[in-house]
Structure 1
Amino acid sequence: MTAPFSPYDPGGSRNNKKPRRARFQRVPIRMILPNVVTLLALCAGLTAMRMAFEERWHYAIAGIVVAAILDGLDGRVARLVKGTSRFGAELDSLADFVNFGVAPAIILYAWMLDEVKSLGWIAALIYAICCALRLARFNVALDDPNKPKWANKFFTGVPAPAGALVVLLPIYIEELGVPHWEFLAAPVALYSVFVGLLMVSQLPTFSGKQLGNRISREWVLPLFVAAVALVALLVSYPSEVLTVFAAGYLVSIPFAFRAYRTHVRADEEKKAALAAPKES
């Protein structure tokens, strides 16, 4: 039985030869491993939404935290095993939108924003849309070859994982013992919109890309101890640690702006000094 459709030939059948059968090439494991990490992060984000529907807020927050950790690992794993690909980049972007845009919006709406009905839903929509726009802007941004080295220290706007962890700050505070007052739903809605606007803003924020690439040998063991202590604190006191993180990140934004402006002024002074005529 002949095939109902002729095989696709991108070069055209110039010599009228019999078309060759497509051969499937084997994909190396190093190309699959980063995508597996991304899919695990997506499962964590989707599970967080389920936990929100069941009003299990501890597990919902844990799902977002796990998704953020895995999101920070997939890119590093891809670069480590040389498994970066266009498919992986697109999958990572879609997973980030679900994990850090849709999931936090659903969690906040199920937790309190539904108390103000349409206003709460609009706030959740704005936050999720801002996350999508932030990711789209990040994907289409082109690296400027003339960009100074110090520019890698900053992001433009709040990144999606940090925005997801910061926008859930009201839930952390309630877990610390603050009563669930319904009249706080409107302020929480405004806060959600505020975090969404921070994500799409032009404000510089610390990126941390240059941290941890290379460290001195004498700092290796203290770093292990600090990492273990941080994990232990996060597991034992999740609400306290996440509250400190979210509040500290918001406080760091003005300092990031100040540091960015300092670098810009230093570059402008260097250019002015080079352009000034030399005295004979």
Structure 2
Amino acid sequence: MNEDIPQKPPLPRRFVKIPVRVLAPNLVTLLALCSGLTAIRLSIEGKVELALIAVIFAAILDGIDGRLARLLKGTSKFGAELDSLTDFVNFGVAPALILYSWLLVDIRNAGWIAALVFAIAAALRLARFNVQLDDPTKPAWAAGYFTGIPAPAGAITVLLPAYLVELGLPKSSLPPLLVALYVLFIAWLMVSQLPTYSGKGSKLAVGREWVMLVLLGVALFIGLLVAYTWEVMALSTIFYLAMIPLSIRSHRRLKASDAASKAP
């Protein structure tokens, strides 16, 4: 009986269309990944200056993709996972290999251990960030702070010795062991519990009368970064590290104020 019933042909597979607004941030993330992988290749070839520029470019793109996703309302779980994996390569593996092939190789195993610890610290930092991202117990004011320095900031700051050499400091004046200790210090800052400014919880607004001035300031900074790359990077790194004690004090003040407001 069943043999006489005609069988329906299988329905053609329908492909789900993905909006361009969702793809655009992921394309920026992939471009950043290409930049980070290129930095690794350049460091192997001994082209340290170009490798540093590639990491800096990857950091700039990392600051763009998330904001672009929120602006276009194109955030997705896939994009978040891709961004996290990209950050590990760009800001964990790439800086570690650059520093090792550039200077830390001179102290052999000790230099490799320092590079290894930095890369692992970046992975742990990113994993912790992903876990804490949707913490329901986190107060609203805490959104303005990271726990430890973020991976992109860790990558930018750990390369300070290379910036100084690009500025003219003799490479021979940098003891590899001292650089290794500095690398370990930055790795500790990434996995530490120290609060650092994130800017995400900031409610600062710019008055219309100041918009043009702010845009001019941004253009000036970009111009200085292009014309005086290593001076800007070195000063920015020192300034960022100097801001950490201030962020700790600000965090403690807000935490105490929040505790006092909840006290019976």
TM category (shorter chain) comes to over 0.9
Which amino acid in the other structure matches residue 38 of structure 1?
T
TM-score (norm 1): 0.87
Q: Is the 8 A contact 1:169 1:246 kept in 2?
A: yes
Alignment pair present for 1:86 and 2:77: yes
Alignment pair present for 1:41 and 2:32: yes
**What residue is the counterpart of 1:9 in the other structure?**
none
- What pairs with 1:21-170 in structure 2 (closer than 5 Å)? 21-170=12-161
Over residues 41-66 of structure 1, what are the superposed CA-to-partner deviations in whole Å (9 max), with x where a residue is unaligned? 01111111122122222211111111
Paired with 2:89 and 2:37, the residues of 1 have a C-alpha distance of 8
**What residue is the counterpart of 1:173 in the other structure?**
164
Paired with 1:221 and 1:262, the residues of 2 have a C-alpha distance of 34
Which amino acid in the other structure matches residue 153 of structure 2?
A
Alignment pair present for 1:252 and 2:243: yes
Gap change, CA 1:175 and 1:183, over 3 Å in 2: closer
Aligned residue pairs total: 258
Paired with 1:183 and 1:261, the residues of 2 have a C-alpha distance of 36
**Fraction of identical pairs, as percent:** 54
Structure 1, unmatched stretches of 5+, are 1-15, 276-280
Which amino acid in the other structure matches residue 45 of structure 2?
E
Q: Is the 8 A contact 1:97 1:132 kept in 2?
A: yes
- What pairs with 1:231-250 in structure 2 (closer than 5 Å)? 231-250=222-241
**What residue is the counterpart of 1:10 in the other structure?**
none
Residue 17 of structure 1: CA displacement?
A: 7.9
Structure 2, unmatched stretches of 5+, are 1-6
Paired with 2:248 and 2:180, the residues of 1 have a C-alpha distance of 26
**What residue is the counterpart of 2:4 in the other structure?**
none
Which amino acid in the other structure matches residue 229 of structure 1?
L
The match for 2:210 among 214, 219, 227 is: 219
Residue 269 of structure 1: CA displacement?
A: 2.0
TM-score (norm 2): 0.92
Q: Is the 8 A contact 1:51 1:60 kept in 2?
A: yes
Gap change, CA 1:228 and 1:146, over 3 Å in 2: same
Q: Is the 8 A contact 2:95 2:158 kept in 1?
A: yes
Paired with 1:80 and 1:30, the residues of 2 have a C-alpha distance of 9
Over residues 179-228 of structure 1, what are the superposed CA-to-partner deviations in whole Å (9 max), with x where a residue is unaligned? 11276101111111110111011000010124587421112101111111
Alignment pair present for 1:230 and 2:221: yes
Q: Is the 8 A contact 1:49 1:103 kept in 2?
A: yes
Paired with 1:76 and 1:89, the residues of 2 have a C-alpha distance of 12
Paired with 1:27 and 1:175, the residues of 2 have a C-alpha distance of 44
* Structure (1/2) with the larger helix percentage: 2
Paired with 2:115 and 2:143, the residues of 1 have a C-alpha distance of 31
Paired with 2:101 and 2:135, the residues of 1 have a C-alpha distance of 42
Q: Is the 8 A contact 1:160 1:199 kept in 2?
A: yes
Residue 101 of structure 1: CA displacement?
A: 0.3
Alpha-carbon RMSD: 1.8
Residue 147 of structure 1: CA displacement?
A: 3.2
Which stretch of structure 1 is more off in the superposition, 95-104 or 141-150? 141-150
Paired with 2:16 and 2:258, the residues of 1 have a C-alpha distance of 50
Paired with 2:53 and 2:107, the residues of 1 have a C-alpha distance of 26
Paired with 1:35 and 1:45, the residues of 2 have a C-alpha distance of 15
